Every structure is written in structure tokens, then in C-alpha cells.
Amino acid sequence: MGLTLTEKILKAHVVDGEFKKGCEIGIRIDQTLTQDATGTMAYLEFEAMGVPRVKTERSVAYIDHNTLQSGFENADDHRFIGSAAKKHGIYFSRPGNGICHQVHLERFGAPGKTLIGSDSHTPTGGGIGMIAIGAGGLDVAVAMGGGAYYITYPKIVKVELKGKLSPWVSAKDVILEVLRRLSVKGGVGKVIEYCGEGVKTLSVPERATITNMGAELGATTSIFPSDETTREFLKAQKREDVYVPLSADPDAVYDETVEIDLCKLVPLAACPHSPDNVKTTAEIGAMKIDQVCIGSCTNSSLMDMMKVAHILKGKTVHPDVSLSIAPGSKQVLNMLAQNGALSVMIDAGARILESACGPCIGMGQSPNSGGISLRTFNRNFEGRSGTKDGQVYLVSPETAAISAVTGVLTDPRTIEGEFTFEMPEEFVINDNMIVPPAPESEMNGVEILRGPNIKPFPATAPLADTIECGCSLKVGDNITTDHIMPAGAKILPLRSNIPAISNFCFTVCDEKFPTRAKEMGQSMIVGGSNYGQGSSREHAALAPLYLGVKAVLVKSFARIHRANLINAGILPLTFVDESDYDNISLGDTLCLPDIRKAVAEGKTELTLINKTNGKEIRVLCELTGRTKDIILAGGLLDYTRESLK
């Protein structure tokens, strides 16, 4: 029986567990990446493990999220990460060099390799044929220390691409179509593997747009084959040496198949407030818009920017619209400057932003009250833009650019003529914003520079014999990590300070939650399905840990968040019977008797007693050997420390 591409790469990297569907496997990690909003914690955790130098083939620390620097906090974090990188053997991509995923694809990604990153859009690397997975900072720290990364052997979905995209229909429309069909929960426990004739009609940046936004499916990752197009891209980046051809065997067996005829796709938009709330631009109609933002790790490649410049050439941004453009990397920005496209954008009236995440994570450019914002980004969760009632639509760069000119949502197929982008034979390469680490012989002389905002990892404790506490919060379905631990210009600077950032935990849903949780001392959170979807931020687990949350009981979890809860020593529980959700109310006293014994014995079905109404609720506690030991120890840090003894 033949193998899928995913299986081939996983098989070459498996170091622990049974290589069988549904089993937990440990894989060797070749590369890691961090960004600054999750990086400070990841490096503090790495330090706490006591490993002097990273053991990966390549580890890179990027600064791209917190570049606003409205106070000392961001700049202090940058210095800390830069110095930790230098000491411990990590390459450091300075602020201004670009968004981690875009830069990694350009300068470091390599087909056939494994990459984990403390950012949920790490699967961007799948566009170049790598198994690239988003993870919590602690998992990345362990991988840097040479430890395996654990995933459940995934189901593999074949997305068979046929035909070729019509003019002005974009790679973004491909992934929006996949989201429309599969939903934000449709990828949980799965890897999405693209194949078929249509693959070769897509360039590497287009493939990366598709794998990037596979994160919104909840998928473990997404991957494209590595072929001639990949080789040419790598050659143009002067990295042809890392090229290897890779594809699935012709007789590979998949768990599911989805077919997409590229010729039939039309421009799409994800409507507020979910990436799977997809409609055609025709269905939405000529809606008046207030803002257009072009950029983010989904759509900020040179190709995307050249399309935008072509559409804006000789035009003026509509007087009622604010257009901002953030090219994805220094390389992209530099090439736009050299070929004149930047001048076209400036001429048209675009507001050019730094090569960074910027508005995507609410760092500036929040829309006006109730404002309609078209964005080429990947997430449109409520409030994420920084304006609570902002209405964000996710669209392709083509749709965004033409709409910025017309002032209303516009189908780009109304543009006359066609645009073909010739991939450059050579990109402009200047890695002077990537600082290499100090040689090992000099590492002892490197001083780690810490600012006053950097506070240690919160205290943990081994799992208690019995948990009895109040229900401090009850929430519904599809809670995102942006609900649990909001980002944005005010809160992001506190990422290195868990006590301070905890005061904002869940405040989007319930302003009183942090105070209530602190007053209760210990508590439990109850939620609906797909709890914790979205980002990889472990702060969405560390803040609840700091606030005394001992267990989270929900209908179902998103993958990375569940792992982050376990890493923080918080028990992840699910309802056996979802209707029991109604048997718990805010403030009820909940008890898990003899929980330590039950977990240690590997019991999966447990009884939770609601002492307030006397109901007995059956809950699942599905922990494997390793995750069980992590929970018993009080989290991954304690577990790792113990196993290093």
C-alpha cells in the first residue's frame, strides 16, 4: 500500500509511539520558529529546562507581532529574545525584517523537513512541502531542547485540485472554498494534503496562502507536494540545495477526499465573524466599505503585492476608504521599492505599513465604530480588529484592491484585461536583518537582557487528590483564544507578564471573570464545542492557570489549545453526553472526587458531581501515557524537569 506525502515525512521523523492511525506519535523536529508575542515565554521556558544550546537543525526567533512599541515593554522583549537567541544558538530576525511565516518560507523552509512554531499559522511552510505545525511555546521549547513533538497520528484528507483558476480568482478563494465546505471544525485531527493536476498551476506563495489558512479549519497542518515549481522558487531564493522532490505514492490511501475544480471558483469573502462564514462577492453585493487592509502572513508575498499595484496603477483610493498595505517581508518591500510598485501604491493613496503583523492582531488600524473592513487576513473574530463592533470580511488581495478604489465590495473580475505575474528568477536577497547566534565557544559571554515587564512562569502544582471548586465561567460554542486571552495594542505588551495579562482573561465575554476567579481561588470553566479555536497562544492557558483554573469541561476542544491546557497542568474534560452542559450553571460547586487516583490509573470516564443541584455528570478525561504523566506532574515544565533529572 502506498503512502501519502504526510505519512512519508512523518515516518521519516517518528521517534516514539506506534505509527498507526489514532495513536499518539512523537516526531523529531528539524526546525523551530517563534514570534515575539509567544517567544518571550518560550525562551523563559527553554531557560527553565536548563539546556544550553538548541539541538535542532535550525531555530529562528522572529519579531513581528509587537512592533508598535508604545511603551518600554515591547522593546525590552525584543532585547530579551535577541540576547537569548544569541546565547542559545538561535537565528534572530529583527523587527522590520518581516512576518515570521513569510520570511521563513523565503529564507529557511525546506521540503521534507519538520517545523514547529509557536504560532498557529506555521503550516504556511506546507506550501513548500514541509510538515509545519503550530504549537504552544512550551512544546517549541522542548523541541529546541531536542525533545520530540507529540501529535495524534492524523487522518489525511486529499484535496484534489483540478483545472486552473480563472483570471482574478485567487488562491485565497481556494482556501475560502475549503473553509466553506469543511467549516472551522472540519480539520480537527486531520492533515489536508493537496494533490492533482491543479497543483502545478499554483506558485509557492499561492500554495502558502492555502496552507496558511488551513489553520482556520482547525487542521493539524496542510501540505503541498514539492515539485519543479518548488525547485524554481528555492533557486530564486538561492537555496536550491535544500530542494527534494516529494509527492504521495499514486496508490496512497486517504481517509477523505474533497474535489475542487479551480475553473469553477469565483471570488469569495468570509463574512463577520468567522472564517467559515463564506459567501460569494456577488451574494454579498456592492456593500459600502470604510477600510481595506492588505497584508498578513496569508497574503503579503511579492506576487500578492504586484497584483495590488497593478490594480491601483493610475487610480486613487476612494475618498471614503482608508487603505493600508503591509508587505510581508523586507525582501518583498525592497523589491517593490526597486521595481517601482511601491511608488504606484503610494501614488494611489495607500498607507504603507511596516512589514509586520500590524492590523491583523489589532496593533493599529482599528476600523471606525461599526466600520466595514475588507482584509486579506485569515481571521475575522469579533473584536480582533480592536473595534468591538467592527465588521471584518476576509477577501483576496484582488478583491481588496479593486474595492479600495470603488469604495464598495467589488468582484475583481470586472477589471479589464488580465495580470500575469512572472516569478522573479532571483529574489533580492539581503539577510542583514537576520542575526546569527554566537558561536558555542562564546556563548558564556553573552548576557541575557531582561526588562522589568518580564515575569517568571506562573506557579504550578501536581494534580490534587480531589478537585472541588466553583464554576467561574460558562461560555458557548466556538470560543476563540481571542476571547480567552485577547490581543491588540493594549494587551499584547503584557505577554511576558502573566499576572498583569491575566486581568484581561475572558474580559471580552465577561468583564468580571478575572476578579471572580481570583476570589474563588480555584475554579472550573465550562464551554461548548470547538473551545479554544484560533491561535497557539499559550497565554490562553497560562492566564487561567494563574487565576486558579483547575479544569476546563467542554463539548469539544481545538487541538493546540487542548495541548496548551495539558502543558499548563489544567485538566481538559469533555462531556460524555453533551446535554449535560445544561446541568451546570455559573457559580455551581463542582467536584471531581479522587481525581488523581483516577488519572493515574488511566480511567477515561469519570463522574463529576454538581454539588449545587446534586446531578452526576459523566465526563471524559482522555489522556495518553505521556499526557497523563504531564497532568500528574502539574504541567510540561515540571514533567520535563523531572525527566531531565
Could you list the residues that contact ligand SF4 (CB under 6 A)?
65, 99, 119, 121, 296-297, 357, 360-361, 377-378
Residues 333 to 372 in contact with ligand MIC, rule: CB under 6 A: 361
Residue 99 binds which entry of ligand SF4, ligand MIC, none, CB below 5-8 Å type-dependent: ligand SF4
Does position 542 interact with ligand MIC (CB under 6 A)? The reply is: no
Taking CB under 6 A as the criterion, the residue among 76, 119, 290, 580 binding ligand MIC is 119
Dist CA 386 CA 389 (whole Å): 9
**Nearest by Cα to 377 from 298, 279, 275:** 298
Work out the burial of residue 272: count CB atoms within 10 Å of its CB; fewer than 13 is exposed, 13-18 middle, 19 or more buried. middle
**Nearest by Cα to 591 from 553, 635, 547:** 553
Q: Which is nearer to ligand MIC, 403 or 496 (CB)?
A: 496
Q: Which stretch binds ligand MIC (CB under 6 A): 46-54, 89-97, 115-123, 433-441?
A: 115-123
Dist CA 622 CA 554 (whole Å): 13
Find the shortest distance in angstroms from Cβ 120 to ligand MIC: 4
Measured over the CA atoms of residue 385, residue 326, residue 300 and residue 134, the dihedral's sign is negative
Q: Which is nearer to ligand SF4, 63 or 360 (CB)?
A: 360
Q: Which is nearer to ligand SF4, 208 or 289 (CB)?
A: 208
Residue nearest to ligand MIC (CB): 535
Residue 296 binds which entry of ligand MIC, ligand SF4, none, CB below 5-8 Å type-dependent: ligand SF4
Q: Which is nearer to ligand SF4, 121 or 307 (CB)?
A: 121
Does position 121 interact with ligand MIC (CB under 6 A)? The reply is: yes
Find the shortest distance in angstroms from Cβ 376 to ligand MIC: 14
Q: Which is nearer to ligand MIC, 129 or 359 (CB)?
A: 359
Residue 202 binds which entry of ligand SF4, ligand MIC, none, CB below 5-8 Å type-dependent: none
**Nearest by Cα to 129 from 248, 219, 214:** 248
Does position 209 interact with ligand MIC (CB under 6 A)? The reply is: no
Q: Which is nearer to ligand SF4, 13 or 559 (CB)?
A: 559
Find the shortest distance in angstroms from Cβ 34 to ligand MIC: 10
Q: Which is nearer to ligand SF4, 65 or 78 (CB)?
A: 65
Residue 38 binds which entry of ligand MIC, ligand SF4, none, CB below 5-8 Å type-dependent: ligand MIC
Size of the site for ligand MIC (CB under 6 A): 13
CB of 36 closer than 8 Å to CB of 78? yes
State the residue for C-alpha cell 454579498: 284
CB of 591 closer than 8 Å to CB of 567? no
**Nearest by Cα to 341 from 399, 425, 428:** 428
CB of 559 closer than 8 Å to CB of 627? no
Pure H helices in 275-329 = 281-284, 302-312
Q: Which residues contact 125 (CB under 8 A, 6 or more apart)?
A: 101, 104, 105, 109, 115, 132, 208, 211
N- to C-terminal Cα separation, the chain: 43
Q: Which stretch binds ligand MIC (CB under 6 A): 159-167, 256-264, 304-312, 532-540?
A: 532-540
Find the shortest distance in angstroms from Cβ 297 to ligand SF4: 3
Dist CA 16 CA 10 (whole Å): 11
Taking CB under 6 A as the criterion, the residue among 59, 74, 83, 120 binding ligand MIC is 120
Q: What angle do CA 47, 53, 59 make, to 5 degrees?
A: 95
Q: Which is nearer to ligand SF4, 366 or 574 (CB)?
A: 366
Q: What angle do CA 8, 563, 149 make, to 5 degrees?
A: 35
Residues 40 to 99 in contact with ligand MIC, rule: CB under 6 A: 65
Taking CB under 6 A as the criterion, the residue among 324, 535, 583, 610 binding ligand MIC is 535
Residue 537 binds which entry of ligand MIC, ligand SF4, none, CB below 5-8 Å type-dependent: ligand MIC
Residue 172 binds which entry of ligand MIC, ligand SF4, none, CB below 5-8 Å type-dependent: none
Strands 58-62 and 31-34: parallel
Taking CB under 6 A as the criterion, the residue among 400, 487, 619, 637 binding ligand MIC is 487
Work out the burial of residue 23: count CB atoms within 10 Å of its CB; fewer than 13 is exposed, 13-18 middle, 19 or more buried. exposed
3-state secondary structure of 543: helix
Find the shortest distance in angstroms from Cβ 597 to ligand MIC: 36
Phi, psi of 467 (to 5 degrees): -110, 125
Please report, as ranges, the residues that interact with ligand MIC according to CB under 6 A.
37-38, 65, 119-121, 134, 361, 487, 534-537
